[in-house]
Amino acid sequence: MSDPRDTTVIVGLSGGVDSAVAALLLKEQGYTVEALFMKNWEDDDSDTVCTAEQDLADATQVCGELGIPLHQVNFAARYRQQVFEHCLREFEAGLTPNPDVLCNREIKFRAFLDHALRLGADLVATGHYARTVYGDAGVELHRGVDPGKDQSYFLYMVDREALARTLFPLGGLHKSEVRRIAENAGFDNFEKKDSTGICFIGERDFRDFLGRYIATGPGPIVTVEGDEVGEHQGLGLYTLGQRQGLGIGGRRGRQGPWYVVDKDRPGNRLVVADGHDHPALFSAALDADELHWVAGSPPGGSIHCTAQIRYRQEEQACTVSLDKCGHCRVDFDTPQRAVTPGQSVVFYDRGRCLGGGTITRRHRLRPNPAAAVQDVCG
């Protein structure tokens, strides 16, 4: 690695506490540090505008405390084309996309990296809780040490070349440590709430926002036995395992509340079952495509490893079988709840992220009694 004193690092500064502390730590390590504030979303919602203005104000205050320059760039058009429009197509198809994964690949570790290099950076840095480790074959992506904040799940699609030019100063820290460092540094945002929800929707109502962009034709909500129990507002507005917002709360099943277990796209039916652990929610295996391997190429043959099918899920033992067309089947040692087409399955080997893919199909634990109901991927 190069001498920090001869290295310029541009930090993606969001206005949050994590990227602020990342910049501070790099400066303390001797790097020449600059910051870049990215505007990735534009829309006419006044609440969103106010949030962006506050984020910029927080980023400006941090740079003032650190005595580092703050650049600004607008990636909103690129974000809309490469992330948002793709997600809209997925929602319209009844899938549940993962925009944070796409944003990392297309914006934070491609557009941002390219722009930073043009500004004269040698490396870039972000406030992600992840680590890069150099092994015999080059750079590897590893989990952050804080299990509650590790974000490697969202980074599996980042190109290896980008990882080699990226620093993750928070990878060895816990969130509580980060907030304490920020408070001691005099950052106004040391108690700022972490952002939640889908990145381009934020804290707004998901159904109202998405309804502005996609057709949301209503249809029946049916049980796995085929009994109609309500009406949905559009299949794209729901996800497998969902309990809240179904509008059938007054009708409890024999085993408890209702949960979404399937989507029948040809019949425009949302399928529900009663009880958190209903067998219709569980899958023994899944299929995935759009595979990306951190090492640049897949391991040979079948892979015995662990996997996550959602953020913050505990790793699950599995066997990954690859075909010659860039697809894979993942067989789990233990059946998994709410395997969701459109989401990411990410593979690990003792803390090292191997790569991952997009879930296209789930293999149910047992056949669905409602014969007309199909998997969301057909």
Q: 213-274 domain in CATH 3.40.50.300?
A: no
42-96 pLDDT, tens per residue?
875 655 555 888 999 999 999 999 999 999 999 999 999 999 999 999 998 889 9
Q: How confident is the model at residue 125 (pLDDT cuts 50, 70, 90)?
A: very high
Decide yes or no: CATH 3.40.50.620 for domain 4-185. yes
* Mean pLDDT, rounded, for 357-366: 90
Query: Looking at residue 373, what is its pLDDT?
Result: 41
State the pLDDT at residue 4: 85
Q: Note whether 187 and 61 are within 8 A (CB).
A: yes
Q: What pLDDT, on the 0 to 100 scale, is given for residue 137?
A: 83
> Token digits for 58?
């927080």
Using the predicted structure, report yes or no on whether residue 377 has a pLDDT greater than 70. no
Q: Which amino acid is at 2?
A: S
- Calpha distance 203→217 (Å, rounded): 24
Q: Is the pLDDT of residue 370 over 60?
A: no
Q: Is 254 exposed, middle or buried (0-12, 13-18, 19+ CB in 10 A)?
A: exposed
Tokens (6 digits) for 124? 């870039």
pLDDT band at residue 248, thresholds of 50, 70 and 90?
confident
Place of tokens 């179904």: 246
Please say whether the beta carbons of 347 and 287 come within 8 A: no
Residues with catalytic roles: 103, 199
- Spatial contact of 84 and 78, defined as CB atoms under 8 Å apart: no
DSSP 77-113: HHHIIIIIHHHHHHHHTT----HHHHHIIIIIIIIHH
Highest mean pLDDT among 123-127, 300-304, 321-325: 123-127
pTM score: 0.91
| Interatomic CA distance for residues 21 and 148, integer angstroms | 18
Measured distance CA(191)–CA(203) in Å, rounded: 18
Judged against a pLDDT cut of 60, whether residue 365 lies above it is answered with yes
What confidence tens digit (pLDDT) does each residue in 268-283 have? Answer: 999 999 989 999 999 9
- What rounded mean pLDDT belongs to the chain? 90
- Which element (helix H / strand E) includes 271? strand 269-274
Bridge partners (DSSP) of residue 70 are 35
pLDDT digits (tens, 9 = 90+) for 257-313: 899 999 998 999 999 999 899 999 999 999 999 999 999 888 877 899 999 999 999
206-228 pLDDT, tens digit per residue, is 778 888 888 778 999 999 999 99
Q: Is the pLDDT of residue 348 over 80?
A: yes
**Count of CB atoms within 10 A of residue 76's CB?**
17
Model pLDDT for residues 163-212, shown as the tens digit of each residue: 999 999 999 999 999 999 999 999 998 888 887 666 666 666 777 888 88
Q: Topology of domain 281-364, per CATH?
A: Elongation Factor Tu (Ef-tu); domain 3 (2.40.30)
